[in-house]
Structure 1
Amino acid sequence: MRQSNDLDLTELYKLVRQKRKVLIFIPVLCSVCVLIYVLTGCPPSYQSTAVLYLMPQVSDTGEVDYSSQQANTKLAANIVSLITQDAVLDPVVENSDLDTTDELRKILKAVNPEGTELIEITVVHKDPLEAKQLTQAVSESLISVMSDRIHLNNLMIISDPVISDDPVFPDYLQVLVYTIAFCLVADFLYLYILYFSQPERLRDAYDIRIYRYELTKQEEQYYLWSFLHQRYPRGCTCFLQQRID
């Protein structure tokens, strides 16, 4: 007796040929929906990045104080966590179109490359010019706060804000990969459901259950009726008659 969960590649190939139009239509439909959503519901966003540098102390002879440089490396990591504080962001929000500092925090990113005295400040915004202005404003506000609050005067901008040439969101390549993966999964699920819901496979499933429980002929006929009626309410009488004959 063939198990109902066995996969017959020949039958599967025939099923793919029979349903090839549907299998092609599903990816096309998904791709069109994703394309419409990306073009209409996801406006492109641009990023602007500025680089700040903690200058180490230099002796009268022009030599760099390496102990000061090591201290600046640790200090740069601490400054990154201070960039998102209200003391730095409030002046920026007051002079921009943003309503709250939380809005600025969501589009602001600051990193300190490991082992360096550099601080990279990045702002992502739908308007590239606005992204550049916000990046510049955050950088200047940080320098001002560091100078006024802790008298740190060796923090300076070494790279003015630069706007990305291409949008950073949405990532069209990533969207394409996700769409292809989703379409493949959708096709697989469609084939799986279609393959194992064929009448002959349901018949095999019925035979397995009858064999497993060793029902009598009368119990078998009653069970067959219930089994088929749940799946094929229409036309199950004809199928049952063929089984009994």
Structure 2
Amino acid sequence: MTKFSLKNKVALVTGGGSGIGKAISLTFAKQGAKVHILDFNMEGAEETVAEIKALGEAAEAHKCDVSNQTNVSDIVESITKNDSIDILINNAGIAHIGNIEAVEEADLDRLYNVNIKGVYNCIKASLPALKASKGVILNLASIASSVGINNRFAYSMTKGAVLTITYSIAKDYIADGIRCNCISPGRVHTPFVDGFISKNYPGQEAEMFDKLSKTQPIGRMGKPQEMADLALFLCSDEAGFITGSNYAIDGGFVTLNGN
């Protein structure tokens, strides 16, 4: 019997068209889950679906703005006409760099709408199906949920909310058999990081990549696959005794920096 099997399970992954979300989608599919990818970037979502289908597994892409409750509800309703929902991965999120003086009201609203309201919308729409399946919710928080990070005011605020959303849902729905956890990545090497470095440090890409890598005590950035492997464990039946927990996956950033 294969450990961490997701055979006959259905997973919804927001932001599954790239980065950590793509790694989670592919990993879950390889373990037997049917994966529904909800992403604003339909091109990326369809590419991930094509990779999953090439493996002989099932997946569907849905163009979704997680900040739009009607859009999310309509997609979830269409999915549940044919499928259960056993796993919800709230991965979609956006970043912002700057302290409070550098954050305009429009920036704050944009991050709130995706990083907080998006999680709310997806959980609220999926709850009836998750109650029926006694399913699992996994939220993507951040090291910024737990410790202060320079010039990340708006981002830290929203990821702090994701952490406490996790605790609240775990508490409120434990009697329904729903488990809810979150993982808190440190810096992970994704296309977003490469784009950020290229945009802000032209000609210094290698130097800045090395510098950012060394902010993790372990000496490197995380890999999307490492995030996906932790997500797989937490969403598998082997993690059936785990709920209301936050898992740091950060190369020692939170506990070892400064020690």
Shorter-chain TM-score: what band? under 0.3
- Name the one with the larger helix percent: 1
* TM-score, structure 1 normalization: 0.21
* TM-score, structure 2 normalization: 0.21
Higher relative contact order (CA 8 A, sep 6+): 1
